[in-house]
Amino acid sequence: MTSIIAEIFHKVQKIVNYYEEERKTYTAIMYMLVSGLFFILSGTFIKKITNVSSMQIFCLRSVCSFLINSSVIAVKGDQNIYTKDREAYGLLLKRVLFGFIADYFFVAMLKYLTLGDCTSIVMTYPIFSTILASIILKEHFSKYLIYSIIFCVIGIILVCKPPFILNYFFDSYSHSQSPNIFLGFLNGLGFVTFLSFSIVTTRRLGGKVTIQVLLQYLYFCTIFASTLFIMSSGDEIGSYVTLNNIFMIIGTGFSQNCANIFYNKSLFLEKATVVIPLSYTQVIFSFLSDVFIFKVAPNIFSIVGCLFIVSGSYLTLKQ
């Protein structure tokens, strides 16, 4: 059975390799679109999980992703899952740490905001990563960065909907949701900050390790750290085990792993300025998920704020 699966995998791999070599740009674009769909699918599964803390979801999702990634490595026959390059190893550990913190903030953010609002805030990461790259990697930045910051700040204010703004337009606005929105914003700020650190660290890695190696380290360290946290806090996972939660956790683990693979492959094949703008389709996917799955219609503030954020992030790429 294993040999049959391996044979099918290698045949598919040949087809994929052909498109990656002969139609590189087209394939990179498709990878980015597919990764966006899987990212939103992962977030949708997380929001469907009930009575489970953010850290528990984080841990269980990483377990599923680790098993899936291990299976891919086994089928590919890739034995080079370790690196002897000390510099690469140090950068790899930093990338894992930043990725771990960023992923936790993302899971926590989903508890407080709609999927559409979460995705809108996530889309500010090109600005944060550009600022960090200019400081750490000494990369040049142009006047577009200033415009980007202004656009994204306006967009975040509209997406987070502070009470003082809504009270100006609507006297009947309720403050009941404002604490949750503020907590969601703080988690979103933490996510884009540490995601930007991880992106800069990935640039410094410069392809010294494969995607599977990077993901394997990330998942393993995430499982270890989150398990220690859960054990120290005294949380019990067993009481929350239901068929719905099991299915959703497997779904988010599979979706997240696929999203990571397609996203990184897209960046390996084509320039960021070509493929990153296509990641903004996640905003469309997230709003569709809110409307058709969670029955939450996006309001005018979220839509306008989203347009500001996407425009600001696109201006960042023009430099």
Express each pLDDT in 35-54 by its tens digit.
989 999 999 999 898 888 88
CA-based radius of gyration for the chain: 20
pLDDT of res. 178:
56
Q: Decide if pLDDT at 173 tops 50.
A: no
Convert the pLDDT of each residue in 185-213 to its tens digit: 889 989 999 988 887 787 777 667 777 77
**What is the per-residue pLDDT across 79-111, written as a single tens digit (0 to 9) for each?**
566 666 777 788 888 888 898 899 889 888 888
**Would you tell me how many other CB atoms lie within 10 Å of the CB of residue 209?**
23
224 has pLDDT over 80: yes
Q: How would you write 137-173 as a 3-class SS string?
A: CCCCCCCHHHHHHHHHHHHHHHHHCCHHHHHHHCCCC
The amino acid sitting at 150 is I
What pTM does this model have? 0.78
Q: What is the pLDDT of residue 191?
A: 92
Q: How far apart are CA 181 and CA 160, in angstroms?
A: 6
How far apart CA 81 and CA 73 sit, in angstroms, is 8
Percent of the chain surpassing pLDDT 70 = 80
| pLDDT of amino acid 232 | 80
Name residue 48's amino acid.
K
Rounded Cα distance between 274 and 123, Å, is 16
Rounded distance between C-alpha atoms, residue 75 and residue 78, angstroms = 8
The pLDDT, as a whole number, for residue 42 is 92
Run of H or E residues at 43: helix 24-48
Side chain identity at 11, as an amino acid letter? Answer: K
Cα separation of 135 and 138, whole Å?
A: 5
Reading the block at residue 248, the tokens are 């959703």
pLDDT at 151: 82
- pLDDT of 45 reads 93
Of the candidates 266, 305, 244, 278, the one whose C-alpha atom is nearest the C-alpha of residue 114 is 305
**Average of per-residue pLDDT across 142-160:** 75
Interatomic CA distance for residues 266 and 271, integer angstroms: 9
- CA 60, distance to chain mean position in Å, is 17
Q: According to the model, what pLDDT value does residue 275 have?
A: 77
pLDDT in tens, 58-82: 888 889 989 988 887 777 766 566 6
Check residues 66 and 174 and name the one with the higher pLDDT: 66
Residue 136: both structure tokens together:
């750490």
What confidence tens digit (pLDDT) does each residue in 247-282 have?
Answer: 999 999 999 889 988 887 887 787 766 677 777 778
